Chains A and B, each alone.
Chain A
Amino acid sequence: MQQAMTQEPFSGEFTAAPQIATDSRPLAIEAKGLVKRFDGTLAVDGVDIAVPEGSIFGILGPNGAGKTTTLRMLLGIIDPDEGTRSVLGSDDPHRLANRIGYLPEERGLYPAMKAVDAIAFVGALRGLSVKEGRKRGLEILEAHGFGHIAQRQIRAMSKGQAQTVQLLATLVHDPALVVLDEPFSGLDAISQGKLERTIRGLAEKGTTVIFSTHVLAHAERLCERIAIIAGGKVPFHGLVSTARDRLPPQVHLETRERDGPWRTALPAHAEPQIKATGGALWNFSLEDGGVEPLLTALVEGKAGIQALSIERAGLHDAFVAIAGEAAAKQLDEETGLAAMNTAEAS
């Protein structure tokens, strides 16, 4: 079901998910009001998600926010307590399992299996014959530069190699929908770059990709659309650009003069930092009026512009505004830990 695109002005406070906006493409995934409780604890509380076909969609949030539970409900691994889901047009994801690829957060393959057999096994679970799975497994390993480990047992591989084998196993049956749960965790920087290219390549050939992450940079680089999830709720769902537009641009201005008629073009709350050389530094949000009136006032009022930058808000700032400081702080801590892990992996 298509809904009209809406772009609400930033209110500084989000208590409910905005109306889901998609374009004219059919939806690969549509979920409405998903609720899941574990032992009376609300893990997911009314999640709405709509993922257009062929798009890259990110689910962003800190650990424990409900990302994995949401993905598991979408895949039919667990059933929602409330709400509806439609995956590739079916409300029973298992019926379309042969068109779906899934990389779980907790990676795992049978340690005694050889790489090519592991890929063929997952392919067989997704509808390929074992023979075809082995053939494709060899091809896909070669194509990704891992042909030399095709006959190596999983237990004899490095962690990164094993993760790559599992990713390739996820893709071996050429799925129409690929679901990746924290796909970047545990990968070194080079492997993360390769994975980003792989995801882009999938989208270019029309595959829908949905992945969860707590590292915003990946989503910012890859995703067309995102859902921000915190505390089991989705306070934002839509285009990445829309999320960023929720915050006004940030202005960093350095003037020779400290005061003058041009100051009326600056927000009332903007306070200058006085420089020892006599000038002033200003940092404020460009909330109303836009860039042109500001520039006109500064030039005509002879503010003496020494430096000026106007930056669009990043996804991180948008996340802070949307999900709240606490969620953002948790996310930052996890991202820091992830960076340490990445450094270790490198």
Chain B
Amino acid sequence: MKGRMGKILTIARRDFRAILFSRSFLFFILGPLFPVVVASMAGGIGASVQGAAGPARIGVAMADTDTAMVTEARAALNQPLPRLPGTIVLDRPANSPQEVSAILKDGAGQGVAAVLSGTLDDPVLSGPQPRIAAWSGDVSLLVEEARRISATGPGQARQWPEIGLRPVAQPSQVDQTGGRIRTAQAAQTLLFILTMLLAGMVLSNLVEEKANKIIEVLAAAVPMDSVFFGKLLAMLGVSFVGISIWGGVAALVIVAGGASVAFLSAPAVGWPLFMALGAIYFACAYLLLGSLFLTIGGLAATVREVQTLSMPVTMAQLLVFFLASYSLGQQGQPVELAAALFPFSSPFAMLARAATDGALWPHLLAIGWQALWVVIIVRTGATLFRRTVMKSGPRGTKRGLFRMLHQSTRSFRQA
């Protein structure tokens, strides 16, 4: 004989199979294209967040005259080439890799991501390999301009100096922080896209059950909150199937295209744990939003009402995402704490934290906190559903959604 968990799984299994083997599942799988485009267009917020890592600059550790020429050259090039990396004069030597590493570490606050040393005739750029490789052309231009200023002035034929590249093993603090923020940002965006794509499906779930008139069979056999949990589990399972398929396709595309995801810095907790936390926070975000949507959808009487609800629900999702994104640039500030505490933004904020901070105990607390809210929302939703939907006999004068909202508010007050 089955217990309550067995019955929850019975409901979950039925829903899971019904969705997986339906024709509409194909459209569901093709669905991500739209939000990917939307997310790309909404990427503006990323730029402001990225700014939180500070601009990366070149620390100049040359002889005084050479340093002055380089600084002057940078100023001269600022107007035609504003995106050229900025420079900062260092007052310490950078002759050995150890000295460069120390500068990179200590100079993080000033944004030092690489060090230019040597002379104008024999310049050397030291720093993390990806950084110096990316900047070598810019530095060549900068040194050439400095040489022109120090020599006879404009008119001479340009001779692009060869830049000696000296990689150091340790990435600069600026690169590390910026990279991790980029990783956090990417993870947040992915989590948001997936949650938005997938949790919305739950909205119409109970409407279908009411249309099939089977909801009363379920409600008589199993407590309503168990029905809710069963349905959420099914949808979560479907979501993971979808993510597996999308992930697989994405991996194929990346491999086939000869690209890699190496542009993302390793998160603070390391990739394996980060992936695991990503899955857990996705489940939490999904269950939180899903339980809310299930409640709202359950109170709706028709598919039309569900469609009406879709817009405010999507907007609310966006607001939650913006809060979490904004908090990424405000680490350690109250807004980050608020984003981590507010149940619906908590998974996003905490996943970002996993990318930028290696501490694990906040995640244990956050997961427990989010799970608690899932239970609270499901219980509340089930109670509202029983009070407002599972009734018979004459109805009031208010109709449709407005009647439901009225009843919900009333029931909530009574509760």
Which residues does A use to contact B, with CB under 8 Å?
Answer: 38-39, 41, 43, 64, 66, 68-69, 72, 75-79, 94, 97-98, 100, 102, 104-112, 121-122, 124-130, 166
Q: Is A64 in contact with B221, judged by CB distance below 8 angstroms?
A: no
Contact residue among B214, B221, B390, B407 (Cβ-Cβ distance under 8 Å from A109): B214
Contact residue among B1, B391, B394 (Cβ-Cβ distance under 8 Å from A127): B1
List, in ascending order, chain A residues with CB within 8 A of B394's CB: 41, 64
Q: Is A66 in contact with B410, judged by CB distance below 8 angstroms?
A: no
List, in ascending order, chain A residues with CB within 8 A of B390's CB: 72, 77-78
Contact count A vs B, C-beta below 8 Å: 96
List, in ascending order, chain A residues with CB within 8 A of B213's CB: 104, 106-108
Q: Does B153 contact A (CB under 8 A)?
A: no
Additional A-B contacts beyond A77-B219, A97-B221 (11; CB < 8 A): A64-B394, A72-B392, A78-B390, A78-B391, A79-B386, A104-B216, A104-B217, A108-B215, A109-B214, A112-B22, A129-B2
List, in ascending order, chain B residues with CB within 8 A of A38's CB: 391, 393
Bound together, the chains give a CA A109 to CA B390 distance in angstroms of 17
Residue of B nearest to A97 (CB): B221
Q: Is A110 in contact with B212, judged by CB distance below 8 angstroms?
A: yes
Q: Is A39 in contact with B386, judged by CB distance below 8 angstroms?
A: no
Q: Is B221 in contact with A78, judged by CB distance below 8 angstroms?
A: no
Q: Is A78 in contact with B2, judged by CB distance below 8 angstroms?
A: no
What's the nearest-Cβ distance from chain A to residue B218, in Å? 7
Contact residue among B221, B391, B392 (Cβ-Cβ distance under 8 Å from A125): B221
Query: Which of B10, B218, B396, B410 counts the most A-chain CB atoms under 10 A from its CB?
Result: B10
List, in ascending order, chain A residues with CB within 8 A of B391's CB: 38, 43, 69, 78
Query: Which of A66, A77, A112 counts the most B-chain CB atoms under 10 A from its CB?
Result: A77
Check A64/B393 contact, CB under 8 A, given A108-B214, A109-B212: yes
List, in ascending order, chain A residues with CB within 8 A of B215's CB: 108
Residue of A nearest to B9 (CB): A124
List, in ascending order, chain B residues with CB within 8 A of A39's CB: 396, 407, 410
Q: Which 10 A-B pairs have the closest CB atoms?
A: A108-B213, A125-B221, A104-B216, A108-B214, A68-B392, A102-B220, A127-B1, A124-B10, A106-B213, A77-B219
Query: Which of B14, B390, B392, B393 counts the most A-chain CB atoms under 10 A from its CB?
Result: B392
Bound together, the chains give a CA A126 to CA B219 distance in angstroms of 11
Query: Which of B14, B221, B223 counts the most A-chain CB atoms under 10 A from its CB?
Result: B221
Which residues does B use to contact A, with CB under 8 Å?
Answer: 1-2, 6-7, 10-11, 14, 18, 22, 212-223, 386-387, 390-394, 396, 407, 410
List, in ascending order, chain B residues with CB within 8 A of A98's CB: 1-2
Bound together, the chains give a CA A79 to CA B383 distance in angstroms of 10
Bound together, the chains give a CA A9 to CA B394 distance in angstroms of 35
Residue of B nearest to A232 (CB): B393
Bound together, the chains give a CA A38 to CA B18 distance in angstroms of 34
Query: Which of B6, B223, B393, B407 counts the most A-chain CB atoms under 10 A from its CB?
Result: B393
Bound together, the chains give a CA A104 to CA B212 distance in angstroms of 12
What's the nearest-Cβ distance from chain A to residue B191, in Å? 32
List, in ascending order, chain A residues with CB within 8 A of B214's CB: 108-110
Bound together, the chains give a CA A78 to CA B391 distance in angstroms of 8
Q: Is B10 in contact with A75, judged by CB distance below 8 angstroms?
A: no
List, in ascending order, chain A residues with CB within 8 A of B18's CB: 110, 112
Q: Is B386 in contact with A124, judged by CB distance below 8 angstroms?
A: no
What's the nearest-Cβ distance from chain B to residue A104, in Å? 4
List, in ascending order, chain B residues with CB within 8 A of A72's CB: 216, 390, 392
Q: Is A108 in contact with B212, judged by CB distance below 8 angstroms?
A: yes
Bound together, the chains give a CA A106 to CA B10 distance in angstroms of 22
Check A77/B386 contact, CB under 8 A, given A97-B222, A122-B221, A125-B218: yes
Contact residue among B212, B217, B407 (Cβ-Cβ distance under 8 Å from A102): B217
Bound together, the chains give a CA A75 to CA B10 distance in angstroms of 20
Residue of A nearest to B391 (CB): A38
Bound together, the chains give a CA A43 to CA B1 distance in angstroms of 36
List, in ascending order, chain A residues with CB within 8 A of B11's CB: 125
Q: Is B393 in contact with A97, judged by CB distance below 8 angstroms?
A: no
Bound together, the chains give a CA A98 to CA B10 distance in angstroms of 14
Check A125/B393 contact, CB under 8 A, given A39-B410, A94-B222: no
List, in ascending order, chain A residues with CB within 8 A of B219's CB: 77
Q: Is A127 in contact with B2, judged by CB distance below 8 angstroms?
A: yes
Bound together, the chains give a CA A69 to CA B223 distance in angstroms of 17
Bound together, the chains give a CA A110 to CA B217 distance in angstroms of 11
Bound together, the chains give a CA A105 to CA B221 distance in angstroms of 15
Residue of A nearest to B218 (CB): A125
Check A106/B221 contact, CB under 8 A, given A39-B396, A98-B1: no
List, in ascending order, chain B residues with CB within 8 A of A41's CB: 393-394, 396
What's the nearest-Cβ distance from chain A to residue B348, in Å? 35
Q: Is B216 in contact with A77, judged by CB distance below 8 angstroms?
A: yes
What's the nearest-Cβ distance from chain B to residue A109, in Å? 6
Query: Which of A75, A105, A121, A130 counts the most B-chain CB atoms under 10 A from its CB?
Result: A121
Check A66/B220 contact, CB under 8 A, given A106-B213, A110-B14, A110-B18: no
What's the nearest-Cβ distance from chain B to residue A321, in Å? 25
What's the nearest-Cβ distance from chain A to residue B363, in Å? 35
Check A125/B7 contact, CB under 8 A, given A64-B394, A68-B392: yes
What's the nearest-Cβ distance from chain A to residue B23, in Å? 11
Q: Is B387 in contact with A122, judged by CB distance below 8 angstroms?
A: no
What's the nearest-Cβ distance from chain B to residue A122, in Å? 6
List, in ascending order, chain B residues with CB within 8 A of A126's CB: 221
What's the nearest-Cβ distance from chain B to residue A135, in Å? 15
What's the nearest-Cβ distance from chain A to residue B398, in Å? 9
Residue of A nearest to B406 (CB): A39
Bound together, the chains give a CA A124 to CA B218 distance in angstroms of 11
A-B contact pairs, 27 of them (CB 8 A): A38-B393, A41-B396, A43-B391, A68-B392, A76-B220, A76-B223, A77-B219, A77-B386, A77-B390, A79-B386, A94-B222, A94-B223, A97-B221, A104-B213, A105-B392, A108-B217, A110-B14, A122-B217, A124-B2, A124-B7, A124-B10, A125-B11, A125-B217, A125-B218, A127-B1, A130-B10, A166-B217
Bound together, the chains give a CA A94 to CA B217 distance in angstroms of 12
List, in ascending order, chain A residues with CB within 8 A of B7's CB: 124-125, 127
Bound together, the chains give a CA A107 to CA B14 distance in angstroms of 19
List, in ascending order, chain B residues with CB within 8 A of A75's CB: 220
Bound together, the chains give a CA A106 to CA B217 distance in angstroms of 10
Bound together, the chains give a CA A72 to CA B393 distance in angstroms of 12
Check A43/B393 contact, CB under 8 A, given A108-B214, A124-B2, A124-B10: yes
Bound together, the chains give a CA A143 to CA B223 distance in angstroms of 32
Bound together, the chains give a CA A66 to CA B391 distance in angstroms of 10
List, in ascending order, chain A residues with CB within 8 A of B393's CB: 38, 41, 43, 64, 66, 68-69
Residue of A nearest to B10 (CB): A124
Q: Is B2 in contact with A104, judged by CB distance below 8 angstroms?
A: no
Q: Is A121 in contact with B396, judged by CB distance below 8 angstroms?
A: no
List, in ascending order, chain B residues with CB within 8 A of A94's CB: 222-223
